[in-house]
Amino acid sequence: MIYEGKQKIWSDYQKEIPDDHYFYVRSCIRQSFFPASEATFLDITRNKLGKDIFETEHHTTCGGIAYHSDTIPQETVMTIIARQFALMAKNGYENYVCSCITSFGLYCETMETWREYPELEAKIRENLWKSCKLEFAKPKFLIHASDLIYKYRNQIAAQAVRKLVNVHTGEPLKVVEHIGCHYSKMFPSKGVGGAEYPYVLVGMVEAWGGEIVDYPERRHCCGFGFRQYFIKGNRGYSLSNTHKKFESMEPFKPDLIITNCPGCPYFLDRWQYVIAESTGKTYGQDGHGIPALTYEEVAGLVMGYDPWDLGLQTHQVGVEPLLDKMGVPYDPSKKYLGKNGKDIGEPLPCACLK
Amino acid sequence: MVDFGFGLVPSSRINLDLFDREKYEKLVAMEPDAKICMACGSCTAVCTAGQFTPTSLREAIEDVFNAKDDKALEALKACQLCGKCSMVCPRGINTRHLILSITKVYSKK
């Protein structure tokens, strides 16, 4: 890799990210898959960094899952999105931050469509008023939650209690960064670093002491792909995508995968189990998998959060080898205890994946 | 091993450098229209033989491009040369002639 060339590209793709005062919208599937990630984001930004991040229980799905599964018309999706934006304006905010990459891509697509077809925007404005009696508004700044953590990465590093470093060898951890396709592949100018060399997660890893792994299939899709996964007959394609990525990254022996998308950590995590149980192949060391974490979970680890409070027990691939490498203290007996010490149940052991 | 009801799909990656392109070049020299097909599938949609057999000109063109000679011949085996495909081709390809040329160039007899 020619580092100077990438630096030039990154400098061309820098987006403006306001420092404070955001309207936050959650992701449908992240709340189910990795429920503590969004809570960690809010805790870090509000309580550790003192930022004004507002959220309301009245916001809904963006409609992205239905849209990408071809089960909902685009105008309906746009009206749902217009409602979210109207809630932002109603609560006195003009900066919009979303937790989901698919939502982010869809918001970018919608705003771009409205810019190109003002008559469609007028129609949506009318739909919004007829259906919800809300005033139409558009955000001044539309950003993804990972953009915000990227902006605060040095402040987080300043408060960090540990680095992304192997405490036994003193070497930086080898980190694979995986960006959700809808972050900047559709609109490269909307993502930090563009589509080819997105810098958003690289910046975080570098600031927190890790080393980025550059491997051939780095920009390949995680395999989610909506219809590839939802329809069982196509699910083999989803699995094969993930398999291709892991085969490509395996020779570099990564310690960790960091992602900024709801689907990517899920599929990079769960498909390791399916590949292991159906073919016997594992990609980590000594029969373990490679932990695939969200950027909030990684930020939480370097800031000293308890791994079980971060929800790391909800991952299929065991995180204990990573925690040992980083020197993170943890109590194995509390792994499957949820909030208030409630037993959340321990999954059955896997045959191949440790 | 666990059977999940789905599994890894064999890679469809083709390295064209590994195949002999002589026949394809010969076909294109005879029938330059083979290159202008955009794989819309209109020919396959109207194909009478395609209703009952796996006949597909679209697939055959793709197969000869990807050096899958036998598959291409199989996809054209049941063609009756009725010519309905030539009536719907948006690129105006003389499909009947193309089918005959493919059979001529790729036939092993």
Whether A233 and B9 lie within 8 Å, measured CB to CB: no
Residues of B with CB under 8 A from a CB of A: 1-9, 11
Choose the closest CB to B9 out of A240, A277, A280.
A240
- Give every CB contact of residue A155 below 8 A, 6+ residues apart in sequence: A49
- Partnered with residue A143 across adjacent β-strands are A97
Tell me what pLDDT residue B108 has.
Answer: 78
> pLDDT per residue over B33-76, tens digit each?
999 999 999 999 999 999 999 999 999 999 998 888 899 999 99
Pairing relationship of beta strands A174-178 and A211-212 according to DSSP bridges: parallel
Tell me what pLDDT residue A93 has.
Answer: 96
- Give every CB contact of residue B47 below 8 A, 6+ residues apart in sequence: B55, B56, B57, B79, B84, B85
Tell me the shortest Cα–Cα distance from B6 to chain A, in angstroms. 5
Mean pLDDT, rounded, for B76-103? 95
Mean pLDDT, rounded, for A187-200? 88
Mean predicted lDDT score pLDDT of chain A: 92
Residue A237: its chain B contacts at CB < 8 A?
A: 9
Is residue A264 within 8 Å of A178, Cβ to Cβ? yes
Which residue matches tokens 């507002």? A54
Choose the closest CB to B8 out of A232, A243, A280.
A243
Distance between CA atoms of A11 and A193, rounded to whole angstroms? Answer: 7
ipTM: 0.77
Q: Which residue has the higher pLDDT, A151 or A69?
A: A151
- Give every CB contact of residue A118 below 8 A, 6+ residues apart in sequence: none
Tell me what pLDDT residue B53 has.
Answer: 93
Q: Which residue of B has its CA nearest to A223?
A: B8
Tell me what pLDDT residue A15 has.
Answer: 85
* pLDDT confidence band for A1 (50 / 70 / 90): low
Whether B8 and A280 lie within 8 Å, measured CB to CB: no
Interchain contact A236–B (C-beta under 8 A): yes
pLDDT(B109) > 80: no
> pLDDT per residue over A96-107, tens digit each?
999 999 999 999
SS3 at position A183? helix
- Give every CB contact of residue A205 below 8 A, 6+ residues apart in sequence: A164, A175, A177, A211, A212, A258, A298
Choose the closest CB to B9 out of A237, A275, A351.
A237
CA distances to A50, A181, A182, A318 from A203, in Å: 22, 18, 19, 26
Residue A279: its chain B contacts at CB < 8 A?
A: 1, 8
Distance between CA atoms of A353 and B13, rounded to whole angstroms? Answer: 29
pLDDT(B12) > 80: no
Mean pLDDT, rounded, for A203-225? 92
Whether B9 and A278 lie within 8 Å, measured CB to CB: no
Q: Which residue has the higher pLDDT, A197 or A58?
A: A58
Does the model's pTM come out above 0.95? no
Distance between CA atoms of A320 and A284, rounded to whole angstroms? Answer: 12
- The number of C-alpha atoms within 13 Å of B108 and in the hemisphere containing its C-beta is 6
Q: Which residue of A has its CA nearest to B11?
A: A240
Q: Which residue of B has its CA nearest to A279?
A: B1
Is residue A253 within 8 Å of A282, Cβ to Cβ? no
Q: Please give the full DSSP string across A119-142, using - where no structure is assigned.
A: HHHHHHHHHHHHHH-------SEE
* pLDDT confidence band for A8 (50 / 70 / 90): confident
Tell me what pLDDT residue A240 has.
Answer: 93
B-interface mutation test, from A230, A235, A316, most B Cβ less than 10 A away: A235
Mean pLDDT, rounded, for A150-171? 95
CA distances to A64, A100, A102, A110, A189 from A105, in Å: 9, 9, 5, 9, 12
Min mean pLDDT across A81-85, B13-17, B70-74 is at: B13-17
pLDDT(A340) > 90: no
Min mean pLDDT across A116-120, A147-151, A292-296, B105-109 is at: B105-109
